Amino acid sequence: MTTLPIPVASPFFHYHQNQLFVENCSIKALAQQYGTPLFVYSKAALVHQWHTYQKVIDTYPNTLICYAVKANSNLAILNLFAKLGAGFDLVSGGELFRVLKAGGDPAKVIFSGVAKQVWEIEAALDAGIKCFNVESIPELDLIAQVAQRLGKKAPISLRVNPDVDAKTHPYISTGLKENKFGIDINVAAAIYQKALDNPFLEIKGVDCHIGSQITEVAPFVDAADKVIALLQQLKEKGIALSHIDMGGGLGIRYLDEEVVEPLEMVRKIKDKLHKAGFDNLQLVLEPGRSLVGNTGVLLTQVQFIKPTEARCFAIVDAAMNDLIRPTLYDAYHGVLPVLIQDIPKQTYDIVGPICETGDWLAKQRELAIQSGDYLVVESTGAYGFSMASQYNTRPRAAEILVDGEQSYLIRERETLAQLVALEHIVE
């Protein structure tokens, strides 16, 4: 057995006799059984990643881990995390619906997002969620109005924007003043006072989320310092909180990134809270990518090899509608052949069938492949299927979960009939 020197290639993804396996399942056999494109997830890898956060809970019991549903919202994965004890961070009423359907505990649900609608607020209040993360004064007013109409008291925390540079891609940086997220931390104390005076609001905590794919501890520490300064202001005003939510954002290894362990990051935040006298506050974290990113791959088949004067293209049946991260973020994903062959290597751009020059999954990769071969695109457990579309009227891929020698279809491949089922021709 050869363990691959790349991020997703843990003991859960490995070569055996020159064929790629996920756990004890041949990936080629999975391709032949389920077709391609296909998202393939390892249950053992998912459980392994959860245990990196379970170490945090074991070390600091007053901690709640709320999985960020947007990273991968498949019901089977949500159900697995619910059984492991996870709470959930969500950003829409649809995600709330999914969490409840998957057996999630609403008392462990944090509802984030900048544009909550009335029906979403109603559904969350009816479900009895743990807390709303409020991102603007108008949103605070709307939540209070809905709570008053329903005769309920809405649990809230303010998502504060600390103006901290997460040093990540600008599209996934959320803690700077120019970002749309959160409330300026410098005016947050006055807004907490406003919430305190409203009988239909119940102050629970403070929230801060500065971005995604963060590979250094320093931005989290900088944000914690600013949030702790706010906690001290609130304490002086007699405003008591029960939790501090430091969001998610820990990165994963796509190529050669140095990955921060959750416990390392939490230990530094806990030390700050201890020194400031806020040990009593529950710490809430909202990991997404770091729980699921390296637990899945996108399986695709080479349709044609197309050499040109400038480039050699491997045209595959997966496309930007299946995995938009490369063209949206210029993101790197590893690409592996399912079968290791003794044929000459060539440098390829891996591209899909969509009518866009931006339809590429990887560029300039050295591979020994030919038409008909299968490839896997690594690290697609997060923001793969969850960001997929039906562009070019392409049915979205199927998803499967592998558990040892067994594989389970956890989302069926869409059909063309389903793509047009909700449309109507006007006579």
By annotation, the residues acting in catalysis are 355
- Cα gap 98→111, rounded to integer Å: 13
**Binding-site positions for pyridoxal 5'-phosphate:** 249, 286-289, 383
Give the count of beta carbons closer than 10 Å to the beta carbon of residue 180: 10
- Tokens 């649900």 sit on residue: 109
8 Å CB contact between 323 and 384: yes
The annotation places the binding site at 249, 286-289, 325, 329, 356, 383
Which residues are annotated as part of the binding site for substrate? 289, 325, 329, 356, 383
Backbone region of residue 64 per phi and psi (left: phi > 0; alpha: psi in -120 to 50; beta: other values)? beta
Closest CA to 140 of 96, 85, 202: 202
C-alpha atoms less than 13 angstroms from C-alpha of 306 in its C-beta half-sphere: 13
Identity at 185, one-letter amino acid code: I
Q: How many CB atoms lie within 10 A of CB 109?
A: 24
**Taking CA 323 as the corner, what is the angle to CA 317 and CA 324, rounded to the nearest 5 degrees?**
125
Q: Please tell me the distance from the alpha carbon of residue 117 to that of residue 111, in angstroms, as a whole number.
A: 12
Per DSSP, the three-state class of 18 is coil
């390892």: which residue's tokens? 42
